[in-house]
Chains A and B, each alone.
Chain A
């Protein structure tokens, strides 16, 4: 187990590097730059553009500076955009450690702010979990619990009562969960709960009240709930027909034990598999939830960074996501061994 963990943690490094390289290549190939904004407004003029490039280190070589090398400047050889971001380099004339020290770089758009200021720093006088990342993390976990707590039992029940009204009702929920886009579902819930029932305000003025978290949680978790319910049902049906279930029943085990201990445990493998990456997706937030509910999460950054060509934000969000995905998948692999002891992690 310890060996497995260490090995997987070491694997993080090359994977992150490959992701960084790919992202770096792509973002510099994409047309336009961070200072290209709405074309019907005044554009940044050439002089300012040059000053900005210098300020943000865009005047450096992208990968390796052979010009500096020819002058015998080894440090300068590596003082390039990529290495400055990932490992360290000169920023505004001073050496500064990069991504490996947890510096996510200066945002190109939200000027003056570093990426960690934007995503990790809570507003003045608030607790750390009130940072944007903290908000998204909390909402993502809530949505996951919501999807699990309703999705799994729904799947189990509809498998046990296959082709009954319960099963069809669950199919209906699942189908609507994946086909109704969440912007539609969101506005629908807002109209019902905020406009007609006045249970919550349409636009929450404060996220300190637990009540206002309910709608975003439902909207965010609904798609996963649908998938969970269907996958659980399908695997349950699969497992129900296995010999060992009949054996378990024949042994005279109680129905509850058979269902929960024997069936569900084996049926959960596909569910857990999608759960890992889904959790990574949920806690990196949702652009739509944030624009609909004025939710102060970091999901917006993941989407707008690319359109805004905010280079350091693109790299930071991609790498954070890569890290989360790998940790999630690592956890999933560990859970496999718990669900089915015959699976060996190595």
Chain B
């Protein structure tokens, strides 16, 4: 790539010189020459050009020459990925966004991790077991684990991370995810401005007991730096406040990633910006991080598992049209594929083979506010749901980048089960309106569809409204609002609009994350006032059931109950869509891929240099 740029630059200069001298065009052979010839070109340029231009030209060429000679003769194998937006923070206990997690996943590893089938498999812990009631979870770490700098990694490190996640001083955005740990909600919720130091220490001590790092003899590991050096400190015992047989899965996500205490303290609030302090135990080492330009990761030789094969470089282009051009120009190996470009890709013989489209981790639905008329009436909700042709939506609006769904948990996740309730049926939809308490469409109160205003959302909601008009004859008004206003409005039951599109994306692969976290009374579904005591009972029981089969069955019943009430119109599952160059091999694709194709299992990726273009 650098070489091609060099040739191009020479070509441009040749062209310039030719234009300036009025000489006949130079044969392409000139392009093949190296540094000395550039100098002669420059001399010519200097003779003809204006004085101001001279120095600039010389400077440019020199820079390029230096780069070209510094570049190794063989092509460097590096996986270049466009990640999109630049992370706000790369701190295991404070991050929450996909692009942030994409960095953490490479640098660190949790106690468990997820494989290509989204099963929870051993990470830093080689095994784990629950007690009978699933109120105690004991992890056994692999012996001899090392950080990328060669220092020891033991259970005390994980204890620190979990404690830091719960600590009210951290105020991490995912702190609530470990609330099952006994004493965690109390410590986390302490009001720092009023609580006395002793009380705070007491709360902390409770959690410290619940998160116990133990040595070979079952005794607590030493405190502080001594503990971090203790080689037999390999057991982490978590005491949970209630049965939680899914908790080992939660320990696979980033909140438990063992960033080093001494680094966090030495670096202060901005420790995470420096590769010097980002010492982890993951398959990669962060080499440098240049804000908004790029980040580079090298394979970590001290990683316990399969060693990564190629370095990874992230870039941060948010303009998809530019990223697409760069990809075609062989500047990226993996980029996201936007719906608008899909048809162009399909029409192109090469690009169409490079497209990877596979299920994603989110479900989107048209949410109806259960306490705002007319959606208080289940019949009306059913009618609005049945008036929507999901296949048409996916084909026309999503341009094929999505999959229609009539259920909540997306395919590929534990608990996925197809449904055929409230699918597209215009006649049944009209009948449902007639059967509703309103009786006919002209008796319905004014209905407004609120959405976060982007060009894409505009088209989407215009489609929805036109379908409701076509099938039911209802005039639904559109109400575009600014994106943060939208978030603020929709997060609270009192301000949540009558209806809006919203989705949920998996934190970790378990039914509990989909059903209990979202739809249980007091969960995220409370924004549309969904509250069903029968549902609550089912998921509560399931959450505490240890037997996997019985547990899965209870969740299935709960999901059926959810669908039966038609609180929302389930619409579509997102898909992951990426363009991947043919020389990238060994990709393992999962719905949970954060930010790029194959992100969940990055160690298996290699680059086949023989397939790379020779330029």
Interface residues of A in 24-74 (CB under 8 A from B): 30-33, 35-45, 47-48, 50-52, 54-55, 59
Interface residues of A in 263-304 (CB under 8 A from B): 290-296, 300
Using Cβ atoms and an 8 Å threshold, which residues of chain B touch A187? 319, 321-322, 325
- Check B56 for interface membership: any CB of A closer than 8 A: yes
Q: Give the complex CA separation of A203 and B292 in angstroms.
A: 12
Using Cβ atoms and an 8 Å threshold, which residues of chain B touch A87? none
Known: A35-B173, A42-B174, A48-B172. A294 touches B486 (CB 8 A): no
CB distance from B193 to the nearest CB of A (A): 6
Using Cβ atoms and an 8 Å threshold, which residues of chain A touch B332? 203
Does A199 lie within 8 Å of B9, measured CB to CB?
yes
Known: A187-B325, A195-B325, A309-B484. A203 touches B171 (CB 8 A): no
At the interface, is chain A mostly helix, strand, loop or mixed? loop
Does B171 lie within 8 Å of A48, measured CB to CB?
yes
Q: Which residue of B lies closest to A209 (CB)?
A: B63
Known: A31-B485, A209-B64. A40 touches B505 (CB 8 A): yes
Using Cβ atoms and an 8 Å threshold, which residues of chain B touch A211? 9, 60, 63-64
Q: Give the complex CA separation of A105 and B67 in angstroms.
A: 40
Does B189 lie within 8 Å of A112, measured CB to CB?
no
Does A55 lie within 8 Å of B171, measured CB to CB?
yes
Query: Which of B1, B192, B322, B326 is in CB contact (< 8 Å) with A51?
Result: B192
CB distance from B94 to the nearest CB of A (A): 6
Interface residues of A in 94-137 (CB under 8 A from B): 109-113, 117, 123-124, 132
Does A113 lie within 8 Å of B269, measured CB to CB?
yes
Does A202 lie within 8 Å of B488, measured CB to CB?
no
Does A59 lie within 8 Å of B193, measured CB to CB?
yes
Using Cβ atoms and an 8 Å threshold, which residues of chain A touch B69? none
- Check A183 for interface membership: any CB of B closer than 8 A: yes
Does A40 lie within 8 Å of B364, measured CB to CB?
yes
CB distance from B265 to the nearest CB of A (A): 13
Interface residues of B in 266-282 (CB under 8 A from A): 268-274
Known: A32-B484, A198-B4, A211-B60. A47 touches B193 (CB 8 A): no
30 A–B contact pairs at CB < 8 A? A32-B487, A36-B487, A38-B487, A40-B362, A41-B505, A42-B517, A44-B173, A45-B175, A51-B188, A111-B269, A112-B270, A112-B272, A113-B270, A123-B291, A186-B322, A190-B325, A202-B329, A203-B331, A207-B293, A209-B60, A209-B63, A210-B56, A210-B60, A210-B63, A211-B60, A211-B63, A211-B64, A292-B317, A294-B316, A307-B483
Q: B residues bordering A, Cβ < 8 Å? A: 1, 4-5, 7-9, 11-12, 56, 59-60, 63-64, 67, 82, 88-89, 91, 94, 96-97, 168, 171-177, 185, 188-189, 191-193, 268-274, 290-294, 315-319, 321-323, 325-326, 328-329, 331-332, 362, 364, 482-491, 502-505, 507, 517, 524
Q: A residues bordering B, Cβ < 8 Å? A: 30-33, 35-45, 47-48, 50-52, 54-55, 59, 109-113, 117, 123-124, 132, 183, 186-187, 190-191, 194-195, 197-203, 205, 207-211, 290-296, 300, 307-309
